[in-house]
Amino acid sequence: MGEAGRELPELSPAQAEIMEIVWDRGEVSASDVREVLSAARPVARNTVRTLLERMEEKGWLRHREEGRTFLYAAVQPRKTTIGRKVREVVDTVCGGSAEALVAALLDDRGLSAGELMRIREMLAAARATRTKKGGS
């Protein structure tokens, strides 16, 4: 059920919005999702249930029952999904160059001081891991 490398079908914009809620909260009921979405616009209870059911059919969600309530959770973590999308962008838009992706990000958006600090920490950790594995 939670195969990390499994390709999942694309989500509609509404389903992607729900997926963000699930990732943020960990486990949600249809009522939880409706409450979050209703803060921005009216959403019918049946619409939310249908979206959740379709997302489960697509393999994005799984549920467990607690009494009469279905509690939904992500099959794959956000990080796995982001990683797959980034690889897709690198391969299809950046000619396979991760450097081109980073350059485009820096040129187009820039980084906050906090983002820059965290990225430096990630680079140092990656370098240390690579050194331990015998890389250059």
Q: Is residue 23 classed exposed, middle or buried when 0-12, 13-18 and 19+ CB atoms within 10 A define those classes?
A: middle
In a domain, 8, yes or no: no
Could you tell me the two tokens for 44? 């019918």
Boundary-marking domain end, from 74, 94, 113 = 74
Please indicate, yes or no, whether residues 82 and 128 belong to a single structural domain of this protein: yes
| Host domain of residue 43 | 13-74
Whether 117 maps to a domain, the answer reads yes
CA 122 – CA 114 distance, rounded (Å) = 12
Contacts of 114 (CB under 8 A, 6+ apart): none
Same domain, 85 and 69: no
Looking at the fold, whether 17 and 66 belong to one and the same domain comes out as yes
Count of domains observed in the chain? 2
Spell out the per-residue pLDDT of the chain, length 136, in tens.
444 456 788 889 999 999 999 999 999 999 999 999 999 999 999 999 999 999 999 999 999 999 999 999 999 999 988 888 888 888 888 888 888 888 888 888 888 889 888 988 988 888 888 887 766 5
Q: Which of 74, 101, 121 is the last residue of a domain?
A: 74
**48: Cβ contacts below 8 Å, ≥ 6 apart:** 18, 30, 33, 34, 37
User: Do 116 and 84 lie in a common domain?
Assistant: yes
